[in-house]
Amino acid sequence: MPSFLTDIGTIRGIGTAVVFIAFIGVVLWAYSSKRKSSFDEAANLPFADEQKKPDARDEQSSRSNNQ
C-alpha cells in the first residue's frame, strides 16, 4: 500500500468527501421535482379519512335492536 494512503489525515479526508457526496445526493433526491407529488401525497397521509370498521360488539348490538 502506498505510504500516502496510510496517513490517517488522508483517510479521514477521503471519508469526509464520501459523506459530503452522499449528503449532496440525498439533498438532490429530496428536492427533485420528480419526487414532489410523492412527498405531497405522503405529507397529507395523516389527514386522510379512515374507514372505520364496525366492531363485533357494535354489529351485534345493531342486530339485536332490529329484531
Residue 17's pLDDT is: 97
Q: Which amino acid is at 21?
A: I
- Which band of pLDDT confidence, cut at 50, 70 and 90, is reported for residue 20? very high
Residue 7's pLDDT is: 85
- Which band of pLDDT confidence, cut at 50, 70 and 90, is reported for residue 32? confident
Q: What percent of the chain has pLDDT over 70?
A: 64
CA gap 61, 67 in Å, rounded: 10
DSSP tally for the chain: helices H, then strands E? 3, 0
Given a contact cutoff of 8 angstroms between Cβ atoms, the answer to whether 4 and 10 are in contact is yes
pTM of the full predicted structure? 0.53
